[in-house]
Amino acid sequence: MIAVACDEDGVVALDVAESQRNDSPLAEAIRIEARDVVGVVVEALGDKQFDFDTVLDVVLDDLDALPVIPIRTNHRGTWPWDDVMRVIDKRRNRVERAFVEARQFRRFVTRYENIEDVYPGFASSFSDSSTSEYSLKLSTR
- What are the boundaries of each domain within the chain? 2-119
Q: Tell me the pLDDT band of 93, cut-offs 50, 70 and 90.
A: confident
Q: What sign results for the dihedral spanned by CA atoms 125, 24, 94, 1?
A: positive
pLDDT at 127: 53
pLDDT at 120: 57
127 compared with 38, residue with greater pLDDT: 38
pLDDT at 139: 36
Rg of the chain (C-alpha set):
15
pLDDT at 18: 65
pLDDT at 119: 56
- Cβ atoms within 10 Å of 138's Cβ, excluding its own: 17
pLDDT at 110: 62
Indicate the pTM of the whole model.
Answer: 0.62
Mean pLDDT of 80-87: 83
pLDDT at 63: 80
Q: What sign results for the dihedral spanned by CA atoms 69, 38, 60, 25?
A: positive
Torsion, Cα 96 97 102 103, to 10 degrees, reads 80
pLDDT at 133: 35
Amino acid, res. 101: E
Residue 19 above 70 pLDDT? Answer: no
Q: Rounded to whole angstroms, how far apart are CA atoms 125 and 11?
A: 9
Residue 95 above 80 pLDDT? Answer: no
Q: Tell me the pLDDT band of 109, cut-offs 50, 70 and 90.
A: low
